Amino acid sequence: MLIAVEGEDAHPAGSGVAAGSEAQRPRRPPSSALRRAREIAIGVDLGGTKIETVAVRAPSAEVIAQARGATPAEGGPQSVVAAIVDAVADVGAAAGAADHNLLGVGVGVPGQVDSKLGIVKGGSNVSGFGKPLELARLLEGAIAPRLGSAVALRVENDVRAAVLGELRLGTAGAFQSLLAIWLGTGVGGAVVCAGALHVGAGGAGEIGHLVVKPGGRRCTCGRRGCLEAYIGRACMEATARKRLAAGEQSALFELMRERGRDRLTAGIWQRAYKRHDQLARSLLRGGGRALGVAMASAQNLLDCEAILIGGGLGEKLPAGVLERARKEMGRHLLAPERAPLLVRTALGDLGGAIGAALLAVPAPSVA
């Protein structure tokens, strides 16, 4: 796990610069930085492959320490909770977080989240998160001893947490109505109505499980034909493996081995697309068409001003694929003259973790 702190490799909110891959020992910021850090919040973005953690200074959300580590693929919830606790403790120590200056900890998690009870369910892309899990209780009990103080902790859906950051700090705040689509290991989403996040009963915005082809490809949720089955990174990899086994040619897995990865990351998909790998292009273009169908269906229902595209794969989605999605959406819109704007995130790779940290930061008052 890499730890970076203010004055070294840390970056301000909105820089979109993530930590590197080489492990380093946690480093404390200089004493002058500690004196300035009066209010600190820690945010965790739990993904299917990585755990991104930041400490920010309120109210500006300036990143003063950050870390990235792998999400445990085995060991169930216990191993994932342990990894989150280690990340929070390390980043907290590097940022100088203590009882007198720590606002709290926010954790963004894929799946359906009851933020009031701190219960997560349906996070099928994270080991052991498919069944209901009292995540807030488990984390609070484990984090407090490591930080040496009681912790105000809030758990939220990962996309809603990221969109909170975009609403407060990015360009999303310019819109009163918004559909957010996060493309990563899976596909998540969030809905903004009247300038505020719409939560519903806890699962609002799950566009990844909107069916784009009845009886189609198998999704990680167990159903068929979901959007995630066509443009979720894990499902695309599964399809690529099947097509290779059936005799198609591709350099995707050669690139994976060259990069020392054990899965097809967003960067590998992007690189293969740019190299005109036919299998990669076929799957990404097909994913773009499915994305366009899903966006049109959602837009016909919600009539949003804009659609915000984010997530690890979303950040690296080739412009040609996004354009294909836009055109496909236009074909199915009831009111194409009011087509929503397609916008990219402003906060980049750290947006999910920054948004999670803002769960612990009171919203600024309006004069």
Nearest to 10 by CA among 90, 88, 65, 68: 65
pLDDT of residue 103: 93
Residue 187 burial (10 A CB sphere; 0-12, 13-18, 19+): buried
Report domain extents, the chain.
2-162+350-358, 174-344
If you average pLDDT over every residue of the chain, what do you get? Answer: 88
User: How far, in Å, CA of 6 to CA of 357, rounded?
Assistant: 16
Q: Which fold has domain 2-162+350-358?
A: Nucleotidyltransferase; domain 5 (3.30.420)
The percentage of residues in the chain with a pLDDT greater than 90, rounded to a whole number, is: 73
pLDDT band for position 27 (cuts 50, 70, 90): very low
pLDDT of residue 17: 35
Residue type at position 41 = A
Averaged pLDDT, 171-196: 94
pLDDT tens digit sequence for 260-286: 999 999 999 999 999 999 999 999 999
Asked whether the predicted pLDDT for residue 306 surpasses 80, the reply is yes
Asked whether the predicted pLDDT for residue 256 surpasses 90, the reply is yes
Q: Highest mean pLDDT range out of 35-49, 124-138, 287-301?
A: 287-301
Whole-prediction pTM: 0.85
Q: Do 2-162+350-358 and 174-344 show the same overall fold?
A: yes
pLDDT of residue 203: 82
pLDDT tens digit sequence for 218-237: 999 999 999 999 999 999 99
Residue 98 DSSP class: -
Averaged pLDDT, 77-90: 95
Which of the four CATH numbers 1.10.3720.10, 1.10.3210.10, 3.65.10.10, 3.30.420.40 does domain 174-344 have? 3.30.420.40
Asked whether the predicted pLDDT for residue 6 surpasses 80, the reply is no
